[in-house]
Amino acid sequence: MLQEQGIVISTIDSPSTTKISFVCTGKNVHKGEYVQINYSQGALIGLVNDVIKRNRYFENSDSVKEFENTNIDISKYFPSDSWEFLEAIVKPLGVLSKDNFFARSTLPVSPGEKVYLADTEILSKFLHLDSNGLLLGEIEHPKLEVKFNLDRLLQKHFAILAQSGAGKSYLTSVILEELLDRKKEQGRIATILIDTHGEYSAFSNICENKDHKDYSNKSLRIESGDIRIGCTGLSAGFFFSLLPELSPAQKRELSLVIKKLDLDKKNGAGPYSLKEMIKELELSEKKDQTNRTLINYLMELDDYRLFGKIDTPSIMDAIDSGKLTIIDLSREINKKKKQIILYYFAHKLFYGRINNSVPPFLLIVEEAHQFAPEMASKEHALAKGILETIAREGRKFGASICLISQRPVKLSTTILSQANTHIILRITNPYDLKHIGESSEGLDQKSIDMISSLRVGEALIVGEASSYPVFFKVRKKKSQDSHLEVNLSGLCRSFEESKEILKKDLDSF
């Protein structure tokens, strides 16, 4: 049984195919609510863009002012309260025709037509929700779980955009849970997360709290300090990208060294690291400036303590369908080292997909504007090129990316435009809002205006994953909270407590 919400009224510019106004007769009508009007073309689904309170008594400013001046309590003489009513403005989204076919509305509904709260079954079909999909939250009016189809969301990449504290990481945790909870028959993806703040360690830690779900058996966390990239097998081109300042002569020299060490390895000399490469250059007969500078460059790279003979730990072996691999960069302060780590793994993953040696994957990059900035020199945006390649070509190979950013205006427009679904949480910065309006297809000004009034945990999804923009409330997460989920006063307390314990220990000593 459909719930009646109102009656379509006739105004100067509505009802039209782009705007419908109705007077509310139902209990309550909310901004962001989906309504349904059954008429000659089929079931029209519309979104309530605005709700206006009207009261004829207060329309005439002269008379309101006159009465206010007399100090008479107007409600005793006029039932002004009962004249108040709600008028809602609806944006028609489309029509489900009688033969079950979705189309744009090409004929306006008639004034006097009844408006209902949208039927959840029709709405679900209309928005392309999938009962087998990822449960990210719910639409509030009418109450409807939003489950997005995995293929539609991931295959053409997605971005989570919002200002700091709006709930990006919380939503990401919800997405991770959904991916980790999938059964083999549903299709499971391998997930790799670049965790810049160490917010996701809760997934790999054993959860003892019964109110939360344990994901530790499906998650592996690797700290950046433990990562060693094996030099054996790295191409000369890889080093050229890390060292853009190399001259043609130095590039030639470096290629020869790598060739020589590869040949030695074939003849049984074993794997090699930067140290062996440097040694090889030092032995070289060419003792000119070119050679010395090249040695210095390689020594600088070696100082990062990031390169070894072989990959350790073997992250590529750890990556598995239905599992999460967290690369924790939170303790790393060197920006270039962070860039190199992402550049290396993104490369390995993408080319691993091309030759089918790694499972289909989703690479989630937190603080994506740091790794793929719109404007930065190649040296400071090492990973940008490979991220752009995955964004452009990954779809064909089962390589997806999710970019998370609090400064969309600083994010590479190439990547942002290739991310076919945008999940947007609260944003108030006008530059970011403008940028999102320009880069998210299908967003009208009303929806953009609504983004700045979203509360923490409320989201708008627009693009490939759903056929129309959908506002929804992010569901509660099942995993335990991150250790970073502490408020400031809590942090102050634990700092003072640990100081007191230290003092007591020292005194007793």
Q: Which positions lie near ligand ATP, rule CB under 6 A?
A: 162, 164-170, 406, 456-457, 474, 485
CB of 7 to ligand ATP, least distance (A): 36
Whose CA is closest to 451, among 469, 425, 481? 425
CA distance 71 to 66: 9
Q: Tokens at residue 407, please?
A: 């400064």
**From start to end of 349-505, where are the E strands?**
361-365, 399-405, 421-424, 458-463, 470-474
Asked if residues 363 and 383 have their Cβ atoms less than 8 Å apart, the reply is no
- Minimum distance, C-beta of residue 167 to ligand ATP, in the bound complex (Å): 3
CB of 411 to ligand ATP, least distance (A): 13
Per-residue b or e along 364-382, where b marks 16 or more CB atoms closer than 10 Å to that residue's CB: bbbbbbbbbbbebeeeebb
Query: Quick one: 168 or 410, whose CB is closer to Mg ion?
Result: 168
Give which of Mg ion, ligand ATP, none residue 457 binds (C-beta under 5 to 8 Å, depending on kind): ligand ATP
Length of the chain as a residue count? 509
**Among ligand ATP, Mg ion, none, what does residue 313 contact (CB within 5–8 Å per kind)?**
none
- Smallest separation, CB 412 to ligand ATP (Å): 18
C-alpha 68/C-alpha 80 separation (Å) is 13
Are 467 and 127 contacting, i.e. CB atoms less than 8 angstroms apart?
yes
Quote the CA–CA distance of 463 and 155 in Å, as a whole number.
Answer: 12
DSSP-derived pairing of the beta strands 470-474 and 458-463: antiparallel
Query: How distant, in Å, are the alpha carbons of 61, 63, 71, 82, 437 from that of 67?
Result: 10, 6, 7, 18, 46
Q: Please, which residue, 447 or 479, has the CB nearer to ligand ATP?
A: 479
**Residue 168 or residue 221: which is nearer to ligand ATP going by CB?**
168
Residue number, 406 or 418, with CB nearest to ligand ATP: 406
Residues 159-198 that bind Mg ion (CB under 5 A): 168-169
CB of 367 to Mg ion, least distance (A): 8
To ligand ATP, the closest distance from the beta carbon of 486 in angstroms equals: 9
The residue (of 364 and 416) whose beta carbon lies closer to Mg ion is: 364
Q: Which helix (H) or strand (E) holds 8?
A: strand 4-8
Q: Give the residue closest to Mg ion by C-beta.
A: 169
**Count of residues of this chain found to bind Mg ion when the rule CB under 5 A is applied:** 2
Q: Tokens 């062996």 appear where?
A: 276
Minimum distance from residue 170 beta carbon to Mg ion (Å): 8
Q: For residues 242 and 459, which CB has a smaller minimum distance to ligand ATP in the complex?
A: 459
Which DSSP symbol is given to 368?
H
Are the beta carbons of 112 and 7 closer than 8 angstroms? yes
What DSSP element (H or E) covers 502? helix 488-508
Residue closer to Mg ion (CB basis): 157 or 168: 168
Judged by the rule CB under 5 A, the positions of this chain that interact with Mg ion are: 168-169
